[in-house]
Homo-oligomer: A and B are copies of this chain.
């Protein structure tokens, strides 16, 4: 698993939307500011998240983005896989891999499977609600105003 900038921006944007879940929509400009992402790049990221069913949007003068589901129903793992692909550390676990013969395959493959499982167990047991409460516990909600 490798988190790219695209993935990092996506997670931070969703976390920001989770922090504002009870409020109105958040504009992409505000998201870009608070996540330190280039606005036009973040647009693409959010478009992807919309197509993935993670966010909803509203166009026009009071437009913006909001989460499509409550933060408690969005697991970190879902987002990571959607944006940055499988968590497996090597392509031989992902399907079309032919870079190894059977002789060494199983013994190394087994290691990568263990790594993937350990990774999944972490990121599939964290929701954005968890992240929000960790954030609030740590610094206080007032910090997150625009």
Across the A-B interface, the 3 shortest Cβ-Cβ residue pairs:
A3-B90, A118-B118, A2-B2
Number of copies: 2
Q: With an 8 A cutoff between CB atoms, is A100 at the interface?
A: yes
Q: Is the CB of A107 within 8 A of B119?
A: no
Contact partners of A144 in chain B: CB under 8 A:
103
Among B123, B134, B143, point to the contact of A115 (Cβ < 8 A): B123
Q: Are A100 and B2 neighbours in the complex by a CB distance under 8 Å?
A: no
Provide the bound-state CA to CA distance between A51 and B118, in Å.
Answer: 32
User: Are A119 and B115 touching (Cβ within 8 A)?
Assistant: yes
- C-alpha spacing A104/B104, complex, angstroms: 42
Is there an interface contact between B104 and A12, defined as CB atoms closer than 8 Å? yes
